Structure 1
């Protein structure tokens, strides 16, 4: 069974972290988020993985080449010449799609058993089976209404069933459900005939509503384990904190490291002379004395000086933060140097604004 990972998006809501890399290469616990998707597909016994790429596709191609060195299955990329949308990018692979196949977004942390999704698809007889998740705020996702019967009415307490209604990014008044499309599907090859050739086309906004109009069955199945979209910096922090807290229930090991007294985690040779509270410090990073890191993510090769306060912020790779600096709800891109005695709140800085050459 083929697995397709969609990785063509830029991830503008994560800027400046995605200024020089595609969103699927943003790190969670020291490894690219797309690796979590790849691992879930491998554990589901796919026979091949194809990554559809667009923005910064060369970087993803390098990673996929590394996969080929470590996996027993073939992995490759298909670079789009121009953005084709989620369904349009998969349409480009139609000649290879001769049986049901997985499609997954490459920008979500997932620890689910996808064999269960495959079983649900096979038993339902649907043309598409959609992985589902429940969230508190569905306004940035596509919500679904489910019925126990194909063509039935919405039954509000279901977490599995036939999709009878689909609304993309609803307003609060229109949000009839907190069950969302998790960007993970099993698709029958016949569905590809409904996607127009050579056009930008989207699964959620166009293909799935069209399937419902035609009366073709779409099944929904709530995923087990953990699932996190990493569309925003706060979601990055939430994902890493969940994984660190729930390591015993995960199907993979955390990278080598050590816990702090305040529910933080230091990866590899990261060091801190200060409290690390509900935060992750990635390898080769250092925290000076008299500082405090709270509910934040510090990526690799970053140096934070003495007497600094970092709260609810994401700090990119190879960043230098001078002494006596305070950052609250900030996102600092790779390669930035923040001068000493700086105080920033609700700010984003990229290497095109402040950079260093060390």
Structure 2
């Protein structure tokens, strides 16, 4: 069997609450990462190695309608990567699955899938050697191979499922989000799974217990003694489901750290990608100070004296004179006033930041939060940050109309409100 025989099922049914407010009014898989949907960034490494059969497994009207509108039959996706194929994207029908495993089971049955199935989640981008994974899976005659990533000693394992495995990487159990002292290893579940076609029989055996892959299927398989193995991922891996990790991954793309993931815009030089319409509109950006690792999309207007480095700018943005943008993500249709300073932040679509404002992750604020998640995030559609505002680390801003939706998740704490916005942070 060749790689192009592998069936890829992307389980993208989550609500994306960790990314609030960016995902309040747009499905998480199609939030732009370097001006391309984040799901595209997840699929690129797989397709560039030969995968062609792709099923998008989402549920609910909003998620599925937005995905279908964006990707359609996949022709534009494949064309952008220079791939000529007769294969078309498939979608999970209107089925309210009970979790990732139930979604995979339903899609296998609906599309009569009888080949090996590569399942990816909606939060992970990885440089995975597919030939190596498939070869290992078959060599071990595994029913399920779970891609594992070994975290460095300074990295926190408590946010992941951690594998207990022997020297041959046969998995005996997973401990979900253990205390650091109780973690059986540094090997975490990377959210990528290769199933043998026989898994459909196990799903039948499990009946109504087929819900989540990590929570239900893997414990069942290991307890019953089925061959479940780990495959150690030596390349790049990241979880993009939180603002801090989303920003870090964007910068990694701009720095060329992710193999098989490319920035396809007009190259000014090796480390700068500027769309031709933006160059024309701004006389070649002669009066703009462009540092390295900068992406700027279509039809942007950029004022004199603006400084930009290590940042991704979306399409149709307006940036006022003498503003500074560093280590940031600016999505499409954002207006930035004059003398604004942005550092280490994310601005969602249709945000307006008025003159003299500062949004900076490095401001000195004493707060016991995850250092990676210092990223200020503005989003939710139409947020206006008034003149001379100062927004520091860990703060998120959304339209006040979204207050109940945000706070009812139980994951956030309100910091305050004004006439237009709610300010909040992680619990």
1:338 alignment counterpart: 385
1:152 alignment counterpart: none
1:184 alignment counterpart: 192
1:326 alignment counterpart: 358
Q: Point out which structure has higher relative CO (alpha carbons under 8 A, 6+ apart).
A: 1
SS of the aligned residue for 1:306 comes to coil
CA 1:70–1:277: 2 relative to 1, 3 Å: closer
Deviates more, 1:101-110 or 1:253-262: 253-262
Q: CA RMSD in A?
A: 2.4
CA contact (8 A) 1:84 1:199 kept: no
Deviates more, 1:11-20 or 1:216-225: 216-225
1:90 aligned to which of 94, 100, 104: 104
1:154 alignment counterpart: none
- Can you list the C-alpha shifts for 1:182-241, whole angstroms capped at 9, x where unaligned? 111110122233334456611111111111111111111123442221111000111011
2:121 alignment counterpart: 105
Normalised by the length of structure 1, the TM-score is 0.87
Matches within 5 A, 1:1-358: 1-55=6-60, 56-69=63-76, 71=78, 72=85, 73-95=87-109, 96-135=112-151, 136-149=155-168, 161-195=169-203, 196-197=206-207, 201-246=211-256, 250-256=259-265, 259=272, 262-269=291-298, 270=300, 272=302, 273-328=305-360, 329-333=375-379, 334-345=381-392, 346-351=394-399, 352=401, 354=420
In 2, the alpha carbon distance for the partners of 1:293 and 1:108 equals 27
Deviates more, 1:86-95 or 1:44-53: 44-53
SS of the aligned residue for 1:140 comes to coil
In 1, the alpha carbon distance for the partners of 2:161 and 2:16 equals 17
SS of the aligned residue for 2:11 comes to strand
Normalised by the length of structure 2, the TM-score is 0.74
SS of the aligned residue for 1:221 comes to strand
SS of the aligned residue for 2:262 comes to coil
Q: How far apart are residue 91 of structure 1 and its match?
A: 1.2
In 1, the alpha carbon distance for the partners of 2:326 and 2:113 equals 47
- Can you list the C-alpha shifts for 1:142-181, whole angstroms capped at 9, x where unaligned? 11133234xxxxxxxxxxx222231112222222333211
Q: How far apart are residue 11 of structure 1 and its match?
A: 0.8
CA 1:192–1:169: 2 relative to 1, 3 Å: farther
- Can you list the C-alpha shifts for 1:319-353, whole angstroms capped at 9, x where unaligned? 11101112233211133222212222332222446
For structure 1, list consecutive stretches of 5 or more residues without a partner in the other structure: 150-160
For structure 2, list consecutive stretches of 5 or more residues without a partner in the other structure: 1-5, 79-84, 273-288, 361-374, 403-419, 422-427
1:155 alignment counterpart: none
In 2, the alpha carbon distance for the partners of 1:99 and 1:256 equals 36
In 1, the alpha carbon distance for the partners of 2:134 and 2:171 equals 17
CA contact (8 A) 2:73 2:90 kept: no
CA contact (8 A) 2:253 2:262 kept: no
Q: How far apart are residue 70 of structure 1 and its match?
A: 5.0
CA contact (8 A) 2:320 2:338 kept: yes
CA contact (8 A) 1:40 1:113 kept: no
Higher Cα Rg, which structure: 2
Aligned residue pairs, count = 343
